[in-house]
């Protein structure tokens, strides 16, 4: 059974310098036709997999920028979702948003269409850094939009922050965190910058023109992040995510639990019936495939048992609770320690893992080098 649904909206009014997701400039795009195509894809897949979506817990609108759509387009998209997906058991319905695009009309359209969680890309409260990132919003946009969202009835609001940015100092990062906490939100995500291929930052990096912080400074920023979150009453529940009790992201937990979810839209990824798949990326090719009544698949991969086990460890160890010994054995029919007893013991001895007999999890020290720990669980 699929636990979640991801819907990709690939349109942006501004392309950020660090973003490598499937996206296009909004202007002159067949936006309305695309929304109808997403509806047709949902209809097609639900028909092909009867009962698969009966118990979905979450829906997530991502991008691109879902709030690049007009209020009328948002309403049409949400109407199609309600028409083709069983939403009676959905507990979390999220939408990504840009602070300078989220008008009151759009907020009302999202709220009336069932969306109950907003995830806003704030990234920094230093406006010079925002310009370096290619962001178009100001701090005032953030304050005003959050005020409007609360007035419309949104309580579950999260913002994304970034550290390890070009030229970013510890003082700038601490100031961003302090301003973020003044908003008194129930959820925060914070990610270190990764310079991805096919981005403006990657081009600058290749030319030696991207002044990135040292690894030591980035580690200090992460340490400050964890300390500040704890001081402000937000519990870390995943490497990059912090929340008040009851506000942890259910949708993201589906990914970290390595459970099944559908991906709809151009360039979307999904995991259904043991297959990881990706959709066609170019908008017009995606629409053409849908209009021919065929799934717009670019690639599919049947995940082997070895790959499932590796993913269970990589993803599960991102969570603060870690990987459950009982759940692992139930899922794979073999005890976790029968596969990794030496690896776990060595990482425990090195202070990177904690084994409490029920779960194995990253220690605080291990969170700083999570990727290196994860690689130890390759079969």
Does residue 249 have a pLDDT over 70? Answer: yes
Does residue 374 have a pLDDT over 90? Answer: yes
What band does 17 get if pLDDT is binned at 50, 70 and 90? low
Weakest mean pLDDT among 10-19, 120-129, 267-276, 311-320: 10-19
Mean pLDDT of the chain: 94
The confidence score (pLDDT) of residue 25 equals 67
Weakest mean pLDDT among 82-86, 203-207, 209-213, 329-333: 203-207
The confidence score (pLDDT) of residue 230 equals 98
What band does 346 get if pLDDT is binned at 50, 70 and 90? very high
Ordered structural domains, the chain, with CATH? 4-256 (3.20.20.70), 322-377 (no CATH)
Does residue 20 have a pLDDT over 70? Answer: no
3-state secondary structure the chain: CCCEEEEEECEECCCCCCCCCCCEECCCCCHHHHHHHHHHHHHHHHHHCCCCCCCCCEEEEEECCHHHCCHHHHHHHHHHHHHHCCCCCCCEEEEEECCCCCCHHHHHHHHHCCCCEEEEEEECCCHHHHHHHCCCCCHHHHHHHHHHHHHHCCCEEEEEEEECCCCCCHHHHHHHHHHHHHCCCCEEEEEECCCCCCCHHHHHHHCCCCCCCCHHHHHHHHHHHHHHHHHCCCEEEECCEEECCCCCCHHHHHHHCCCCEEEECCCCEEEECCEEEEECCCHHHHHHHHHCCCCCEEEEEECCHHHHHHHHHHHHCCECCCEEHHHHHHHHCCCHHHHHHHHHHHHHHCCCEEECCCEEEECHHHHCCHHHHHHHHCC
The confidence score (pLDDT) of residue 204 equals 83
Does residue 23 have a pLDDT over 70? Answer: no
pLDDT in tens, 124-175: 999 999 888 888 889 999 999 999 999 999 999 999 999 999 999 999 999 9
Does residue 21 have a pLDDT over 80? Answer: no
The confidence score (pLDDT) of residue 210 equals 84
The confidence score (pLDDT) of residue 123 equals 95
The confidence score (pLDDT) of residue 27 equals 79
pLDDT in tens, 288-343: 999 998 999 999 999 999 999 999 999 999 999 999 999 999 999 999 999 999 99
């Amino acid at each position: 059974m699929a636990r979640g649904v991801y819907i990709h909206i690939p349109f942006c009014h501004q392309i950020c310098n660090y973003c490598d997701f499937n996206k296009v400039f909004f202007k002159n795009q067949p936006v309305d036709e695309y929304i109808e195509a997403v509806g047709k894809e949902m209809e097609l897949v639900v028909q092909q997999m009867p009962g698969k979506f009966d118990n979905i817990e979450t829906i997530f609108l991502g991008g691109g920028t879902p709030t690049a759509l007009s209020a009328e387009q948002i309403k049409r998209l949400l109407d199609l979702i309600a028409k083709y997906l069983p939403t009676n058991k959905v507990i979390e319905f999220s939408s990504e948003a840009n602070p300078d695009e989220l008008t009151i009309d759009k907020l009302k359209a999202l709220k009336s269409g069932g969306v109950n969680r907003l995830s806003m890309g704030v990234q920094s409260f230093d406006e010079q850094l925002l310009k370096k990132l290619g962001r178009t919003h100001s701090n005032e946009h953030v304050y005003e939009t959050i005020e409007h969202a609360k007035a419309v009835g949104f309580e579950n609001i999260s913002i994304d922050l970034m550290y390890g940015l070009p030229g970013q100092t510890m003082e700038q990062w601490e100031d961003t965190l302090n301003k973020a906490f003044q908003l008194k939100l129930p959820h925060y995500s914070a990610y270190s910058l990764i310079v991805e291929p096919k981005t403006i930052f990657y081009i600058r990096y290749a030319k030696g023109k991207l002044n990135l912080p040292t690894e030591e400074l980035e580690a200090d920023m992460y340490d400050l992040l964890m300390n500040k979150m704890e001081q402000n009453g937000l519990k870390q529940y995943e490497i990059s995510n912090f929340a008040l009790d009851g506000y942890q992201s259910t949708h993201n937990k589906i990914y970290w639990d390595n459970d099944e979810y559908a991906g709809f839209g151009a360039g979307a990824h999904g995991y259904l019936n043991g297959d990881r798949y990706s959709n066609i990326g170019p908008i017009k090719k995606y629409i053409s495939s849908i209009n021919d009544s065929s799934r717009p698949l670019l690639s599919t991969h049947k995940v082997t048992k070895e790959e499932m086990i590796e993913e269970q460890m990589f993803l599960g160890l991102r969570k603060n609770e870690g990987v459950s010994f009982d759940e692992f054995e139930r899922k794979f029919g073999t005890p976790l320690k029968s596969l990794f007893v030496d690896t776990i013991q060595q990482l425990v001895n090195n202070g990177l893992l904690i084994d409490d007999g029920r779960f194995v999890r990253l220690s605080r020290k291990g969170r700083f080098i999570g990727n290196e720990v994860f690689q130890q669980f390759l079969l």
